Structure 1
Amino acid sequence: MRSPVEKRSIVVNGHKTSVSLEAAFWNSMKEISDLRDMTLSELVGEIDRNRQQGNLSSAIRLFVLDYFKNRAAAALQPSRDGA
């Protein structure tokens, strides 16, 4: 049985590193980086610079969770234009 975790090499802040994430997280990261008009490496670098503790894979998972939680909360907010 194939592991649901995919290990990929990525350049983060000029250094090559390996990150292990489930395919759903890789797909979400690609979606977020596309929406922000940045590369996946740039997004991971931003996450790496802003993480408080833990390993990079955990920081990425928490970032993705927070990103989609914020999007869901924003979608529940009434619009400001009264529509």
Structure 2
Amino acid sequence: MIGPVEIVKRSVRIAGHATSVSLEPAFWEALNEIAVRRRISLNALLSMIDAGRGGNLSSAIRLFVLARCRDGELGDLAGASPLTCSRVGEAVRGAGGPA
């Protein structure tokens, strides 16, 4: 049996509009790491993801982060948290995703 999944809701500004996004903490951690690596703000990164999405924003963000883990953008450069993608994987499994 899967226990409750912690979700963190944050207020962000996407393309100049205030909104809120709900994600697991591991995804927030990964997004922050990606933004720092790219030397852009979290809001700028979220605006980029939003511009390319076709559906639900939270789902698009999760898919973006998973793709960055798969592509090796997270966890392989100096100063990276080696656990970021592991935590994302745990969040996915905890939400009932593939084991």
Amino acid at match of 2:31: M
Give the residue type in structure 2 aligned to 1:57: S
Which structure 2 residues correspond to residues 1-83 of structure 1 after superposition, within 5 A? 4-51=6-53, 53-71=54-72
The structure carrying a bigger strand percent of its residues is 1
Structure 2 stretches lacking a partner, 5+ long: 77-99
Question: Residues 3, 68 of structure 1: CA spacing in aligned structure 2 closer, same or farther, 3 A cutoff?
Answer: closer
> How big is the shift at 1:3?
5.5
Asked which structure has the greater CA Rg, the reply is 1
The structure with higher relative contact order (CA 8 Å, sep 6+) is 2
In the alignment, structure 1 segments of 5+ residues that lack a partner are 76-83
Q: CA RMSD in A?
A: 1.9
* Shift of residue 70, structure 1, vs aligned partner: 0.5
Give percent identity, aligned residues only.
48
Query: 1:46-82 CA deviation, whole Å, 9 max, x = no partner?
Result: 000011x22110000000000110117xx7xxxxxxx
TM-score calculated relative to the size of structure 2: 0.68
Q: How has the CA–CA distance of structure 1 residues 65 and 3 changed in structure 2, closer, same or farther, with 3 Å as cutoff?
A: closer
Task: Give me the whole-angstrom Cα distance separating, in 2, the residues matched to 1:25 and 1:64.
Answer: 7
